């Protein structure tokens, strides 16, 4: 009996260490961790002593993923609108429709068990994704067809829902607009004088972007790209910080979402490609190497055009997501060890990592911006 306890403890500890280990690195392994922990959990199902297992991987991934409702506290949620572009036109309803009443309690469904019918079409929600429902339920009561990895294979409508991330996106845009329109107002009222209030908070950062990011990389043509660089810097920074706030206005993982980083990287890519001058393109298609080297060099250079923004996309996404997973994992230590005495340790670590994340929030915004400036600078550089 004692031995089995020790064994249990060791398994749990292994899970924690393994998850932390994965969380430290990149997200791709962390995504696999869900499968790994799931397997471990399934393995432990064989043991009769096992209670309801806490699946840390699933928990963390659920929290960093997008969602159709916004968790406030306890059992309180804000239900966000679902907007679908289907074969039969636009359909919209509240995500509160994916709930059932069981024993007088509202149960939120995320396993494709509740079917919502609109415009003669049937929808289910599984892992915060909306599918066209199957005609009949499978053996678990789910109206989806599952593959061997438990992923739904049903067709999906075009999902234009106002999700948690979209809400945060709008919120952050409002915050950024309010802040910087106020700053701009400060320059009008204190014309020619020293900055006051929020203006003096933001001016050093604006100057930092101008003097340490734009001018060294772009040279005298920096002014054309300042609006983009400033916007991208403050968008990433504000959203990184908003993501670190654990309760309502924050909590979403917007800059750790691949769609968001993809659009940001795409913007840099477009600016690079459309502003590239003849030297830039000559460097790619006719580099200063013997002609027979072109067979190797041209594909490599062409490939490089795409790898640079892709690296930007992955870097921001992976850093922010990893930070979130790390903090979540540390907090989850309490549930993993199933002991309140772990709480001080876990909170101390979470605070420490939170401090680092605050730094990372700035650094990632800085890195994204300076690399964007660097890539654009390489494309517009004209002294060869």
Partner 1 sequence: MELLLPEFGLVIFQSIAFLLLMFLLAKFAWKPILAAIKEREKSIDEALSKAELAKQEMARLTSQNEELMKSARAERDLILKEAKTLKDSIINEAKTAAQTEGAKLIEKAKIEIENSKKAALAELKHQVSSLSLDIAERVLRNQLQDKATQQDLVANLLKDVELN
Query: Minimum CB separation from partner 1 for residue 140, in Å?
Result: 20
The single residue among 38, 137, 215, 258 that binds partner 1, judged by CB under 8 A, is 258
User: How big is the CA angle at 168 (ends 166 and 173), to the nearest 5 degrees?
Assistant: 100
The single residue among 176, 198, 284, 358 that binds partner 1, judged by CB under 8 A, is 176
- Is 203 a binding residue for partner 1 by CB under 8 A? The answer is yes
Across 13-98, where does the E strand assignment appear? 69-73, 76-79, 81-86, 89-94
- Is 205 a binding residue for partner 1 by CB under 8 A? The answer is no
Query: Minimum CB separation from partner 1 for residue 237, in Å?
Result: 13
In this structure, the chain runs to a length of 384
The single residue among 54, 180, 294, 335 that binds partner 1, judged by CB under 8 A, is 180
- Is 137 a binding residue for partner 1 by CB under 8 A? The answer is no
Query: Minimum CB separation from partner 1 for residue 95, in Å?
Result: 13
1 secondary structure, DSSP code: -
- Is 374 a binding residue for partner 1 by CB under 8 A? The answer is no
What is the CA 126 to chain-centroid distance, rounded? 19
> Between residue 309 and residue 338, which ones bind partner 1 under the rule CB under 8 A?
321
The single residue among 205, 267, 353, 356 that binds partner 1, judged by CB under 8 A, is 267
- Is 127 a binding residue for partner 1 by CB under 8 A? The answer is yes
Rounded Cα gap, residues 272 and 378, in angstroms: 8
Contact 123, 134 (CB under 8 A): no
Cross-strand partners of 122 = 117
Binding-site size for partner 1 (CB under 8 A) equals 52
- Residue 243: exposed, middle, or buried by beta-carbon count in 10 A (0-12, 13-18, 19+)? buried
The single residue among 181, 289, 293, 348 that binds partner 1, judged by CB under 8 A, is 181
- Is 184 a binding residue for partner 1 by CB under 8 A? The answer is yes
User: Distances from the Cα of 346 to the Cαs of 15, 72, 341, 360, in angstroms?
Assistant: 16, 22, 9, 20
Burial 39-64 (b: 16+ CB within 10 A, else e): ebbeebeeeeeeeebbbbbbbbbebb
Q: Which is nearer to partner 1, 94 or 231 (CB)?
A: 231
- 239 by DSSP, 3-state: which? helix
- Is 207 a binding residue for partner 1 by CB under 8 A? The answer is yes
Q: Which residues contact 296 (CB under 8 A, 6 or more apart)?
A: none
Tokens linked to 201: 């908070």
- Is 206 a binding residue for partner 1 by CB under 8 A? The answer is yes
Contact 264, 316 (CB under 8 A): yes
The single residue among 260, 330, 332, 365 that binds partner 1, judged by CB under 8 A, is 260
Kind plus residue range of the DSSP H or E element containing 307: helix 294-337
Q: Which is nearer to partner 1, 263 or 293 (CB)?
A: 263
The single residue among 14, 107, 158, 289 that binds partner 1, judged by CB under 8 A, is 158
- Is 215 a binding residue for partner 1 by CB under 8 A? The answer is no
- Residues engaged in binding partner 1 (CB under 8 A): 27-28, 30-32, 61, 64-66, 83, 127, 151, 158-161, 163, 165-166, 169-170, 173, 176-177, 180-181, 183-184, 187-188, 191-192, 203, 206-207, 210, 223, 226-228, 230-231, 235, 257-260, 262-264, 267, 321
């Amino acid at each position: 009996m004692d031995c089995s306890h020790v064994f249990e403890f060791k398994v749990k500890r292994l899970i924690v260490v393994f998850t932390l280990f994965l969380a430290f690195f990149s997200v791709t392994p962390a995504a696999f961790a869900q499968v790994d922990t799931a397997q471990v959990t399934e393995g432990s199902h064989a043991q009769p002593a096992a209670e309801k297992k806490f699946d840390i991987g699933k928990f963390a991934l659920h929290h960093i993923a997008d969602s159709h409702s916004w968790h406030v506290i306890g059992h309180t949620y804000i239900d966000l609108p679902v907007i679908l572009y289907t074969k039969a036109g636009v359909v919209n309803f509240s995500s509160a429709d994916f709930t059932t009443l069981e024993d007088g309690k509202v149960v939120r469904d995320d396993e494709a068990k509740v079917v919502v019918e609109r415009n003669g079409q049937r929808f289910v929600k599984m892992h915060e994704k909306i599918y066209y429902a199957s005609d009949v339920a499978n053996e678990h009561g789910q109206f989806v067809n599952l593959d061997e990895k438990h992923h739904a294979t049903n067709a999906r409508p075009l999902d234009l829902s106002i999700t948690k991330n979209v809400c945060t996106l709008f919120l952050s845009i409002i915050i950024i607009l309010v802040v910087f329109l106020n700053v701009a107002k400060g320059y009008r009222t204190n014309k020619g004088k020293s900055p006051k209030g929020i203006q003096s908070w933001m001016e050093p950062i604006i100057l930092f972007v101008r003097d340490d990011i734009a001018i060294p990389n772009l040279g005298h043509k920096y002014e054309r790209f300042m609006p983009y660089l400033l916007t991208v810097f403050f968008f990433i920074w504000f959203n990184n910080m908003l993501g670190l706030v654990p309760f309502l206005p924050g909590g979403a993982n917007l800059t750790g979402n691949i769609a968001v980083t993809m659009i940001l990287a795409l913007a840099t890519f477009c600016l690079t490609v459309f502003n590239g001058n003849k030297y830039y393109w000559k460097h790619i298609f006719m580099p200063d190497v013997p002609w027979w080297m072109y067979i190797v060099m041209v594909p490599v250079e062409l490939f490089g055009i795409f790898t640079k923004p892709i690296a930007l996309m992955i870097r921001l996404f992976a850093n922010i997501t990893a930070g979130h997973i790390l903090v979540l994992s540390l907090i989850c230590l309490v549930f993993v060890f199933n002991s309140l005495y772990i709480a001080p340790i876990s909170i101390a670590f979470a605070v420490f990592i939170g401090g680092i994340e605050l730094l990372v929030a700035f650094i990632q915004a800085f890195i994204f911006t300076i690399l964007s400036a660097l890539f654009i600078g390489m494309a517009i550089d004209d002294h060869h």
